[in-house]
Amino acid sequence: MDYEHCEAANPAPLPEIDCVIVGHDCSDQLCGCLASVRTSDYPQRKLHIHYIDLGSTDDSREIAGSCWGVRVTALGTPRTTPGAAKNAGWTQGSAPFIQFIDAFSILDPKWLKTGVHELTADHDLGAVFGLSRKLHPVASFYNRMEEIERRPPEGASGLYGCDALIRREALESTGGYDYRLIAGQEQLLGRDILRAGWKILRLETIMVLRDLAAVDLWHCLCRAYLAGYEIAAVRHGESRAGSPYLKDEFRILAVTGVGVVASILLSLLLFVMAPSEKMAVLALVPAAIGLCLLFSPRFFMVEKFMHDRKVDRALAKTYAWQRSLVLLPQLFGLLGYHSGWVARRPNEQATRQKQMQPR
């Protein structure tokens, strides 16, 4: 649908929007993010930009402060969670709609009118989001894999990623983001919005372009850890709400990951304690079982990836290899969340979030 002339077709004035941008050490990307908001085709007088800084050590705050009309809020240290930063942003404004934007994102110039059109047309719609695409999807192997990872299966519902346009009433009815988590706060908020009786709409139109510069293995491993943490956090929250959401994903990750680790440890133990060469050879059996578990996506899920992620067989096979190799970091993320929850510290980086106030 063409929304370019929706304001002319609809005489009702466009509503105001609070644009909440969250960033940390993002000076290289922040100018592009702010410029994309200022050059969008939405009336600029209706946009209120809030930049929430997560303890940057570069000149991100100075860059944001030098832009006309941008309200800058610094939240203490880099240990502030994204959820706490977003809560600090949306509670400062009063506009009926809030556009959350990650500082690494470039907002599509037509997106705000597109999203507002949907929210004003359906008052039961609590949030709307579009497609998130990489600026340089083939710049590296890791960029390419992350681009595939961020393609939700057709018909998926829920907030996807850091960027979305949300109705203020929906946020107020749920209390906003969980300030304790380092990952998973968007999915949990989406589920809370649905439980509160609102609807969530995913549009097949570009919302943002992103460049996370995934150029090395360390970045890939960190993303895998956060993915495991997110599955654990969201599953825990949903289980307490009596929902089966992500139950299968959590079970597969837990059983497969623990099985791989247990098999390898058992193999090492048998090899060290083997009284003879024959027994030492038998120690390879659990190791082989562990490797089969580790690479099960490579063997059994290529067709599923082709269907869900809309890729060809060759790319689906590569993605299956990548999914196999990030299994253990995901398991560590899962264990990291639950160990923190048992210690009553679901995020060791957020022990003082309730006491932290914007400066």
CB 123 within 8 A of CB 49: no
Which residue range(s) make up the domain with 126? 6-215
CATH number for the domain harbouring residue 166: 3.90.550.10
In a domain, 1, yes or no: no
SS3 169: helix
* Mean predicted lDDT score pLDDT of the chain: 80
Q: Where are the beta strands (DSSP E) in the chain?
A: 17-23, 47-53, 70-74, 97-102, 105-107, 125-134, 164-167, 199-210
pLDDT at 357: 33
* Average pLDDT estimate for 304-320: 79
Same domain for 244 and 162: no
Supply the DSSP string of 203-254, one letter for each residue.
EEEEEEEE-----SHHHHHHHHHHHHHHHHHHHHHHHHTT--TTHHHHHHHH
Last residue of a domain, one of 188, 215, 242: 215
Last residue of a domain, one of 177, 200, 215: 215
Same domain for 197 and 134: yes
Same domain for 16 and 42: yes
Q: How confident is the model at residue 212 (pLDDT cuts 50, 70, 90)?
A: low
Q: Report percent pLDDT > 70 for the chain.
A: 80
CB atoms within 10 A of CB 27: 16
Q: Name the least confident of 158-167, 210-219, 242-251.
A: 210-219
In a domain, 158, yes or no: yes
Same domain for 259 and 352: yes
Same domain for 224 and 209: no
Same domain for 239 and 209: no
Q: How confident is the model at residue 79 (pLDDT cuts 50, 70, 90)?
A: low
Same domain for 195 and 240: no
Last residue of a domain, one of 193, 215, 237: 215
In a domain, 49, yes or no: yes
β-strand pairing of 70-74 with 17-23: unpaired
In a domain, 267, yes or no: yes
Number of compact structural domains in the chain: 2
Same domain for 222 and 175: no
Between CA 116 and CA 123, with CA 120 as vertex, the angle to 5 degrees is 130
Same domain for 95 and 46: yes
Structure tokens at 345: 């510290």
Residue 221 above 70 pLDDT?
yes
